[in-house]
């Protein structure tokens, strides 16, 4: 069992509320989403593991169970070409839950015309593999979002 925690402070809104059909339709995988606080912050690792994919706008951490967790910082933020994002680790690094991965500013993302909403997705999982899914309410970085069996 893997506990996946929030990489950001904000409000849990669930994947269905994400303004992107790929995420809202859970095509990438099941999970939830966070509407982040609008202040400069650091997105942290939702699990202990290894960074297997790292971009300014998104990262994937794989835990000891082989579970890959995608954190996507905003929607269509790849179009910002890394502007406003600062990587704090490298691909291949071993990280611990709560360790800072990317520094960014959700308000700047919003000012650039993009949604700052952040999907947190269980890659290659089925919806029934997740439990205690958090889809509403305020969350702090490190609060539990879902359990992955």
Domain ranges for the chain, please list them: 8-138
pLDDT number for residue 133:
97
Helix (H) or strand (E) holding 62: strand 58-62
Look at residues 17, 1, 11, 87 and name the one whose alpha carbon lies nearest to residue 45. Answer: 87
* 3-state class (DSSP) for residue 77: helix
Query: Which CATH number, 2.70.70.10, 2.40.110.10, 3.40.1280.10, 2.120.10.30, labels domain 8-138?
Result: 2.70.70.10
**pLDDT (tens digit per residue) in 73-115:** 999 999 999 999 999 999 999 999 999 999 999 999 999 999 9
Can you read off the two tokens belonging to residue 3? Answer: 């506990």
Catalytic residues: 72
Look at residues 144, 143, 133, 127 and name the one whose alpha carbon lies nearest to residue 13. Answer: 133
Gap between the Cα atoms of 25 and 35, Å rounded: 17
């Amino acid at each position: 069992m893997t506990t996946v925690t929030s990489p950001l402070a904000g409000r849990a809104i669930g994947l269905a509320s994400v303004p992107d059909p790929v995420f809202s339709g859970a095509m990438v995988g099941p999970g939830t989403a966070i509407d982040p606080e609008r202040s400069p912050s650091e997105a942290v690792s939702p699990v202990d593991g290894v960074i297997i994919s790292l971009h300014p706008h998104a990262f994937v951490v794989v835990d000891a169970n082989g579970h890959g967790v995608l954190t996507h910082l905003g929607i269509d933020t790849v179009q910002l070409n890394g502007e406003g994002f600062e990587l704090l680790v490298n691909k291949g690094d071993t990280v611990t839950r709560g360790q800072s991965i990317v520094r960014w500013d959700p308000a700047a993302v919003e000012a650039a015309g993009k949604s700052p909403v952040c999907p947190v997705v269980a890659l290659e999982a089925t919806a029934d593999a997740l439990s205690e899914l958090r889809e509403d309410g305020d969350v702090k970085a490190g609060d539990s979002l879902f359990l992955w069996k």
